[in-house]
Structure 1
Amino acid sequence: MQSLIEIQQQLLPDMLVVMRKRYLILRQVMLSDMIGRRTLAASLDMTERVLRAETDFLKSQDLLLIDAAGMRISEAGKRLLEDMEPYYKVMFGLSELEERIRKHFGLKQVVVVAGDSENSLHSKRELGRAGCTALRKAMGKDDVVAVTGGSTIAQVASQLTSQTPLKGNWFVPARGGLGESLDYQANTIASTMAKRTGAQYRMLHVPDHLGEEAYTSLMQEPNVREIVEVIRKARIVIHGIGDAIVMARRRRVDATVIEAMKAEGALAESFGYYFDRKGAVVRKMLTAGLRLEDIMETEVVIAIAGGQHKAEAIAAVMRFGHDDVLVTDEAAAMELAAIMDREEKQ
């Protein structure tokens, strides 16, 4: 059966053109928080005369607030955008894009949110919200969820809520902490997720990157060994994806090792492992927490990453082949499609 949108595309194509135009205006105003008419017209490649007519209409519907400082979206406008989201995916071809990426990488589900999370805080929040939805869909009773660090997974944590407390569930860090902002460390994110959902949590108070001697010593500690055993039995893993060299530098990896990684073709990082363009593991760091063999046995693996510049890294980790769900944004998805096009031509 055809959807209403598909019927409208056939019978009233002009109406969809107008709907799309007004949707884009509202979305761009929301992403900008406050914006002037000239700047908005330039960003949408629209004349100021046409834009003025449309924004005047949106103001008359109480969807936009306009004053001398510029334009802001109203609460009613935000609610309308949220209600339109399922139709947006059809109108802009994102549903087809999701399915194409899903089939190409052999995933169970792909979710694409609007915008570019690399350049828009709102889009990053949307990425986090979609990650919350994917996680809640996967979670059952008495589950253990292992989470990695990073700003994107922190967005998931900040928006995770539960009307029904998840008292039997546990959130645990997938690995030790990075030497970065406390807000983005896996321990912090795991505890935030637990507190926001009424679940329980455990922390792993060890460095992220360990030498062989330190690793051997720590793994002999009963408390460390106990929490590591819990982590390695997680049914769900939710993780971010990073640029290999950027992540190596943040972990203060020795410069000679970084040069060796470049020579090995390291492109992406996730779970503390470094992947080349084909999805092969080219280097791993000793760490207390999830190992590659644990990831390969995990029942549900959810990747959340966005931004055009992350597309190559996302593709590399997806080629590794052990993710079930990918939550990404429009910018990364479009670039992924371009990568797929190049591969199909080769």
Structure 2
Amino acid sequence: MDREEERLLYKIAKLYYEEDYTQAEISSRLGIYRTTIGRMLKKARKEGIVKITVQSQLNEQIQLEEEISEHFDMKEVIIVPSSENGNHSGNEEVGKATTKLLNRVIRDNDTIGSAWGTTLGTTVNQLYDLNSKNVTCVPLVGGPGEMEVDFHVNAIVYKLAQAFSGESHFIDAAAVHQSKETAQEILNSNYMSKILDLWEQLSVAIVGIGTQLKSSNLIWSGFLGQKDQKELEAHQAIGDICSRFYTLGGESIASPISERTIAVKLETLQSLRYSIGIAYSKEKAKSIIGAMRGSFINTLVTDEETAFEIKRLMEKEG
């Protein structure tokens, strides 16, 4: 490229990118064919005369989303600002982000499964302006024990279906039972057959992520006793989804507790078009990492505080 060509490329690029001339206006001003202007603008970028950068106030957040997403081979990671008051069960930004995500990814005739818990219950209460869809919503796990109605799986499924103007189904069973025989009787019952059929048809799951055992919902809601806790500790359980436990390495835990549990299997979540995990708080960072490693979720909605803790743990592990 000689000096005159470089000068002309610079002049055209300056008119187009800095002075907002159209290609037609540049063509008229410089006496160059409009088609040639387009080719010269491309060459200006190729030669480094024009360098385009994409910038946003969200640069750091988006970079962190991509870093976590690529590291764990996720479809998408969405990070929202942390709650100013430190409330880990009621971040309105999570509700807004989840609404936009669901409007993007939910299709007519989807079968959507949901779990239970405080985070999911709060998030579903914050879903506004969802597009009406012909969807079916179903519980992925039996109902909790001592828990507020808003956080019960049937209440969450009902509100989710209402938000979409879709159809809801309910489950009439606890999450964990005293014996595997009781759990098996329930699974074999007529009233569970419809739920099991819907689990086979799942296309999308929306799940919370249980934290480490010491503060697990399953413990304080009365489902798991000390013997169960010791057994899960022996298996190095790091978290649970739908009352199914897994390790930090992303391995699902098979134990006698599993045989007493009424819930979709974690392996089912691995094959869904979208398995959306909604979870935030630094205490859940390792539980979230285990869920991503196991591919039990392929999409994550979380907050900045949690995301930075996930990154810290990633760097610590090397």
Whether TM exceeds 0.5 here: the answer is yes
Tell me the CA shift for residue 183 of structure 1.
0.9
Confirm whether residue 194 of structure 1 aligns to residue 161 of structure 2: yes
Q: Which residue of 2 aligns with 1:178?
A: 144
Which amino acid in 2 is paired with 1:202?
H
- Unpaired segments of 5 or more residues in structure 2? 1-54
Structure with more helix by fraction: 1
- Counterpart in the other structure of 2:207: 239
Tell which deviates more after alignment, 189-198 or 329-338: 189-198
Structure 1 residues 84-128: Cα deviation after superposition (integer angstroms, max 9, x where no partner): xx94422xx111111100011110111000114892369612112
Query: CA separation of 1:163/1:267 partners in 2, compared to 1, >3 Å: closer, same or farther?
Result: closer
Residue 330 to residue 150, structure 1, CA distance change in 2 (3 Å):
same
1:89 to 46, 58, 65: 58
**C-alpha separation in 1, matches of 2:126 and 2:103:** 12
Q: Matched residue of 2:91: which SS?
A: helix
CA-to-partner distance for each residue in 1:147-192, whole Å, 9 max, x for gaps?
Answer: 11112211331122346532x2111111111111111011110001
Alpha-carbon distance in structure 1 between the residues aligned to 2:157 and 2:202: 13
Distance apart, 1:136 and its partner CA:
2.3
Aligned to 2:188: 220
C-alpha displacement at 1:251, in angstroms?
A: 4.3
Query: Does the 8 Å contact 1:243/1:310 carry over to 2?
Result: yes
Contact in 1 for aligned 2:246/2:290 (Cα 8 Å): yes
In structure 2, the residue matched to 1:56 is none
Q: For the structure 1 residues 183 and 97, does the alpha-carbon distance in structure 2 shift closer, same or farther, using more than 3 Å as the test?
A: same
Residue in 1 aligned with 2:80?
113
The two structures have a TM-score, normalised by structure 2, of 0.75
Task: Give runs of aligned pairs for residues 121-136 of structure 1, distance below 5 A.
Answer: 124-136=91-103
Q: 2:198 maps to which residue?
A: 230
Question: Structure 1: any 5+ residue segments left out of the alignment?
Answer: 1-85
Q: Return closer, same or farther for 1:293/1:316 CA change in 2, 3 Å cut-off.
A: closer
Q: Deviations over 1:257-284 (max 9, x none)?
A: 2012122211111122112221122345
**Counterpart of 1:61?**
none
Larger Rg: 2
Equivalent in the alignment of 1:169 = 135
Distance in 1 separating the partners of 2:204 and 2:310: 25
The one-letter code sitting in structure 2 at the alignment partner of 1:89 is L
Runs of 4+ in 1 over 3 A off after TM superposition: 161-164
3-state SS in 2 of match to 1:103: helix
**Shift in Å, 1:213:** 1.3
Mapping of 1:283-322 within 5 angstroms? 283=254, 285=258, 286-322=260-296
- TM-score after normalising by structure 1: 0.69
On the 8 A contact 1:178/1:208 being kept in 2, the answer is: yes
Distance 1:255 1:296, change over 3 A: same
Partner of 2:306: 332
2:173 is matched with which residue: 187, 206, 211? Answer: 206
RMSD: 2.1
SS at match of 1:241: coil
Q: Percent identity?
A: 22
- Structure 1 residue aligned with 2:107: 140
Indicate if the aligned counterparts of 1:176 and 1:207 stay in contact, CA closer than 8 A. Answer: yes
Correspondences of 1:31-70 after superposition (within 5 Å): none
CA deviations on 1:219-240 (whole Å, 9 max, x unpaired) are: 2221211122113321000101
Report matched runs for 1:236-275 at 5 Å: 236-245=204-213, 246-247=215-216, 248-249=218-219, 250-275=221-246
Work out whether residues 237 and 298 of structure 1, in 8 Å CA contact, stay in contact via their aligned partners in 2. yes
Contact residue 232 and residue 291 of structure 1 kept, 8 A: no
Amino acid at match of 1:258: Q
Q: How far, CA to CA, are the matches of 1:229 and 1:123 in structure 2? A: 33
1:281 equivalent to 2:252? Answer yes
* Equivalent pair of 2:114/2:139 in contact (CA under 8 Å): yes
* Contact map agreement 2:81 2:304 (CA 8 A) in 1: yes
